[in-house]
Amino acid sequence: MEFWLELVELYEYKVQDLMEGRVPRGGRRGLALLRDELLRAPLEPPLQRRLMEADRAYRLHQGAPAQHPRPGHGGQSTWTAPPTADSDESRAWEELQLLQWHQRASVQTRELTLRWQREPEFAHLRVLYTVIENAERLARPGTQPLAVPPAHDALMDLHDPEVTGRLAAALSLLLLTEDGRARVRAALSAVHAEPFPRHPDEDVLAARITAAEREPLSFEAREALIRALRAEYPLPRDPRERPAIRAAARHVAQLLDPILDALPKPTLNGAPQGSILFAQHPGSAMRVPDDGAERLTVYLRGGGSTRWRGLNIEWQPIGPNWQVQVGPQLTLLRPGAPLPDRAQLLKLPDQQLRALISGAHMTLVVESQTALELGRRASTARATALLLNPAVDFAVLRLARAAAQVMRGGALQLDKLTPDSARKYGDATPDVLLSFARKGVETLLARLARLSTDEAAQAFRRAAQALGLHRVVADRLHAALHIALHDPETLPPGKPGTQLELTETGTFSSVVLQDEPLFIQVGARGVTVRWDYKGELVVMMPGLAPMVLHDLLVARLPVGNLLLVRHGSWLGAALTGDLPVVTLEAAELSTEDIRVTN
């Protein structure tokens, strides 16, 4: 607004008078009051930059020794200017807020990749891979952009959780800087505009096929003519894949928007009042640590120890670094490390903390142990649901048994893994079959912990080949178990409620159980979860016997698998569908045939 422009110009004139040895009109007190008002003003970016330049000159002049002492000076003023965005404290506060956002963004992007890894064709992951690669290429002028690879590209390994974990880490690293965010947006727009280059004969083939469909021929003759045309103009990619890729690109952009909207905004006024223990500036100093807060920020040079949430916290400088002890846990924080590496995880007996460092300022953030435990159970439930799929005579359950035999180092006993041996699974009651499948998952997890990722992948593929199953089935089972063991998903925070509606997206929803029953709408079916007179949590569904939910439950319904996990009063629920089980006969099919099959 116009009056803010005039006030900024007035401040510039007053600062110039002061620097040239003149008393500004209105006196020094008037200058200080004007400065204080402008630092709190909602200025537009150009005016804000002008204010910061003038204010930097003012603070440099205030910190310099007086060149022309004037008579009648009443002594040094006790007034302290509020910190601005240029102070060490304000810069550290903003950097710590950015680090906290980056930690949350890393978890959110990893959750997205885990969700997309459950898709048969990995459409979202292929888009994300291309966006990350092209965003990195944009930093190197002259490099050609990458096209979105086809489904089930043998060079992609998108079924591997380690690969998708690296994708999530690379994305969160790009989002950490303004330049990286701009390159991600540009790459995402480019993928949406052109997923992969058009073939020069693509329009010719489309026109001839359209003309052939109008010919007055029998169905068999028309199909033979179209096949002959396709043989004459072979195309490297199916053009019909473009709409699906563009839809996935739009969805990726929609899911990234909330993450980017949560990015902390810069502020002129620095740290909030009472936000830093042992703070440099009195206005932002915290009197005592708040035991009810989830985070604590400390100016390390202002003290040497404190007590927070029942933990003794001590620190000391070690050269340019800081050695910090939280309870029994000792760690070294390195302010000079790259920004993503300035976070350390502190595992304590009953909780986890994450320590973030910026200069001489440290923030400790409490990470919920309940959420971590519930995430492990959710990942275990997903793996268990795979084993309960009855397709091809419980092929995945038989594959799990075969893989366990391979990992034990013994010979495969194929006579005990035939389709006829799976009849007992179909005859078993749901609770007995669930117990058997979960025990199989836990056995495989124990064996996977002793093997490298490559050794485990080979074991699953060898077992799948022996049972006549395609390697896609083996890779999916291995990926689900790898996630449950090494990288369990994180569930959203639970909120109190008595109503929950699930759709077949596979995403977990969370709720905090109340004394009243919880009603879950699963398609057209209603599921009731309530406490019984014994204090047990009972799940009731029409047509099925009541089931007790201790910590994990997988119930097969006509609309999919209902996954329920619980930790105390926190309950997570999801609805997933069965993935197709491809036999070894599909190994002779082309990549596109497998894509259609899946």
pLDDT of residue 67: 39
Top-confidence residue, 229 or 178 = 178
380-408 average pLDDT score: 92
How confident is the model over 148-159, as a mean pLDDT?
Answer: 79
Lowest-pLDDT choice from 33-42, 489-498, 534-543, 569-578: 33-42
Dump pLDDT digits (tens) for 501-552. 998 888 899 998 888 899 999 888 899 999 887 778 899 988 788 888 988 9
Mean pLDDT over residues 227-235, rounded?
72
Q: What is the mean pLDDT of the chain?
A: 84
pLDDT of residue 62: 67
Q: Which residues pair with 206 in a beta bridge?
A: none
Contact 149, 130 (CB under 8 A): yes
Residue 201's φ and ψ, nearest 5 degrees, are -100, 10
Give percent above pLDDT 90 in the chain: 37
CA 49 to chain centre: 34
What are the angstrom distances between the C-alpha of 156 and each of 161, 195, 238, 249, 420?
A: 12, 17, 19, 18, 36
Reported as a single tens digit per residue, the pLDDT across 273-308 is 888 999 888 888 888 888 878 889 999 999 999 999
d(CA 144, CA 113): 25
Q: Is the pLDDT of residue 26 over 90?
A: no
d(CA 382, CA 397): 13
Average confidence (pLDDT) over 45-64 = 74
Orientation of helix 453-466 relative to helix 391-408, angle to 10°: 130
Q: Check whether 199 has a pLDDT greater than 80.
A: no
Residue 330 pLDDT more than 80?
yes
Does the pLDDT at position 385 exceed 90? yes
* pLDDT tens-digit series, residues 162-175: 888 899 999 999 99
Model confidence at 84: pLDDT above 60: no
Q: What is the pLDDT of residue 234?
A: 60
Q: What is the pLDDT, as a whole number, of residue 398?
A: 93
The pLDDT confidence band at residue 324, using thresholds 50, 70 and 90, is very high
Looking at residue 269, its pLDDT comes to 63
- Which pTM was predicted? 0.65
Residue 364 has pLDDT above 80, yes or no: yes
Sign for the CA dihedral angle at 200, 203, 207, 210 comes to positive
Q: What is the mean pLDDT of residues 165-190?
A: 92
SS3 label, residue 359? coil
pLDDT at position 585 is: 66
Reply yes or no on whether the pLDDT at 148 is more than 60: yes
d(CA 279, CA 268) in angstroms, rounded, equals: 17
pLDDT class for 420, splitting at 50, 70, 90? Answer: confident
* Six token digits for residue 489: 């998903």
Phi-psi region of 543 (alpha: psi -120 to 50; beta: other; left: phi over 0): left
594 pLDDT band, cuts 50/70/90, is very low
Give the DSSP letter string of 96-122. Answer: HHHHHHHHHHHHHHHHHHHHHTTSSS-
Q: Which residue has the higher pLDDT, 123 or 535?
A: 123
**Amino acid (one-letter) located at 15:** V
Q: In sequence order, what are the residues at sequence separation of 6 or more whose Cβ sits closer than 8 angstroms to the Cβ of residue 546?
A: 538, 539, 540
User: If you average pLDDT over residues 39-56, what whole number do you get?
Assistant: 77
Average pLDDT for residues 483-489, to the nearest whole number? 88
d(CA 460, CA 373): 27
Q: pLDDT tier at 268 (50, 70, 90 boundaries)?
A: low
Query: Which of 306, 376, 284 lies closest to 92, judged by CA?
Result: 284
Q: Is the pLDDT of residue 70 over 90?
A: no
Per DSSP, 69 falls in state -
Burial class (CB in 10 A: 0-12, 13-18, 19+), 470: buried
Pairing of strands 570-576, 509-512: antiparallel
For residue 7, pLDDT over 50 is answered with: yes
Q: What CA–CA distance (Å, rounded) separates 141 from 279? A: 45
Which residue is associated with the tokens 């846990």? Answer: 329
Helices (H) and strands (E) counted in the chain, each on its own, are 17, 20
Residue 206 has pLDDT above 90, yes or no: no
Nearest to 227 by CA among 205, 258, 194, 246: 205
Neighbours of 133 (CB within 10 A): 17
Residue 469 DSSP one-character state: B
| Strand-pair partners of 528 | 519, 540
Interval 108-119 mean pLDDT: 88
Return all residues near 274 (Cβ < 8 A) that are at least 6 apart. 284, 285, 286, 287
**Beta-bridge partners for 564:** 553, 573
Say yes or no to pLDDT of 65 above 60: no
Instruction: Identify the pLDDT of residue 358.
Output: 94
- Which pLDDT band, with edges at 50, 70 and 90, does 74 fall under? very low
In this prediction, residue 281 carries a pLDDT of 84
Confidence class of residue 355 from pLDDT cuts 50, 70 and 90? Answer: very high
CA 379 to chain centre: 15
Q: Which has the closest alpha carbon to 577: 503, 521, 511, 508?
A: 503
| Structure-block tokens of residue 420 | 């006829």
Banded pLDDT at 109 (limits 50, 70, 90): very high
